[in-house]
Structure formats: structure tokens, C-alpha cells
Amino acid sequence: MAKNKFNKNWVHDHINDPYVKLAQKEGYRARAAYKLKEIDEAEKLIKPGQVIVDLGCTPGSWGQYTRRKLAGGDEGGIKGTMIGLDMLPMEPIADMQFIQGDFREQGVLDELAGILEGRMADLVLSDMAPNLSGIASADAARMEDLIDLAIEFSQVHLKPSGALLVKCFKDMGFTQILEKFRSEFKVVKQIKPKASRDKSSEIFLMGRGLKNPAQ
């Protein structure tokens, strides 16, 4: 009974969510686009000409927003390079090169290297979150593991002056994650966009300038 009530409340909140309505109106696949939009407008992360890698990109709303920011290339294309990686399939986004697979696997990294052709990323985005078990310690460990992967990926593929933006949660090992960010990046910011639901402990961490880029 309680679960049904929760589901009904969630559906009611979702249907009446202004960002859900705006996403439908503006053609975004998810309301998450507005979280990235707000952060980007404040931090000036996305600029034409950049190489941008989107980890855990499905369903693609961050990719859609990024594409709009890079639009204006030859013949209606983009100025820059967009690469999305996810274990789940994704409906194509124009001008975004999508790799389906686990970026911990060598075959996926080889495919990424082929697209990059020796270039480094200006920006790495990660909206990834673990499948939750409801066991706080296990969920915190899973979240920390995902952030570790994003940091390790950035150490290899991000320009020394580049930026990494990740989603995390205040109630999932956040203190340890923040410490890791501070040990790896010169500038670290915590950002809670308005589009992030008040009830959610969701928060975004942005790191700029790698302290120890891979040689």
C-alpha cells in the first residue's frame, strides 16, 4: 500500500513538474537537460570547438543540450566533437558519436581512441548513478566507485586545463568523494541547480585543472 502511495505521489509530482513540461515543450528527452544548462550558464563549461565526452549519456538530454551549444558548424553540423558512452542503447543524436559499452573495457577505450585521434577532451560529463539497493553503505560504495572511474577516465583523456562535471549525492559517501576531487583538481565547486529536486540529496561536483594529469 505504501509503495502504491509513493508511486502515485511520484507520478503526480512528475506530471506537474515545470521542468518536465519544459523538456516536453523544448524537445529534450529528460528534465536533466536543465541541470546541465544551469551549470553551464554559470560556469561557461561548453564552448564551440571543444571535444566533449559524456559518460553514461543515455537517454541523451545532456547530449541534446551540448549539441545545441556546439551548433553552427558547416552544413548545419557542430563546431567541435561530441562522444557519448553508455552500457545502455541510446536513440541517435545528430553529430554525436555514440559508443555502447562499458568504458572500463579495452575494446570500448580503443573505439574512443579511434574517434579522438590523439586529441584530449576539454570537458568530461558524467550523469551516472548506481542502481540503488537501499543499503546505505553499499550504495555509497557504488557511487564512490562510479566517481573514481570518472576521475580515472579524466586523468587519461582530459586536457590538463579541462573540466570534469559529475553527479553525486550528499547521502552517498559525499565527504570522501569531495576529498578525492580536491586531491585531483585545482578548483572544485559544489553546485545544486534549481532543476535538481529539493527533496533529492543530488548535488554536482565540478573540478577544473588536473593536479596530476597522466603523462
pLDDT at 212: 84
pLDDT at 215: 58
Can you say how many angstroms the Cα of residue 40 is from the centroid of all Cα atoms in its chain?
12
Q: pLDDT in tens for each of the 215 residues of the chain?
A: 455 655 666 455 656 788 899 899 998 999 999 999 999 999 999 999 999 999 999 999 999 999 999 998 787 899 999 999 999 999 999 999 999 999 889 999 999 999 999 999 999 999 998 888 888 899 999 999 999 999 999 999 999 999 999 999 998 999 999 999 999 999 999 999 999 988 889 999 999 999 987 75
Maximum CA extent, the chain: 56
How many angstroms separate the CA atoms of 31 and 211, rounded? 33
State the DSSP H helix or E strand holding residue 21, giving kind and residue range, or none if neither: helix 18-26
How many angstroms separate the CA atoms of 171 and 167, rounded? 12
Question: To which residue does cell 505521489 refer?
Answer: 9
Q: Cite the annotated binding site for S-adenosyl-L-methionine by residue number.
A: 60, 62, 86, 102, 127
Q: Cite the annotated binding site by residue number.
A: 60, 62, 86, 102, 127
Catalytic residues: 167
How many angstroms separate the CA atoms of 100 and 43, rounded? 29
pLDDT at 8: 61
What strand order describes the sheet that includes 185-191? 96-100, 81-86, 51-55, 121-126, 158-169, 202-210, 185-191
| 76 DSSP 8-state letter | G
pLDDT at 1: 47
Arch. (CATH architecture) of 30-210: 3-Layer(aba) Sandwich (3.40)
Can you say how many angstroms the Cα of residue 79 is from the centroid of all Cα atoms in its chain?
20
How many angstroms separate the CA atoms of 50 and 70, rounded? 8
Q: Which of these, 183, 176, 163, lies nearest to 39 by C-alpha position?
A: 163
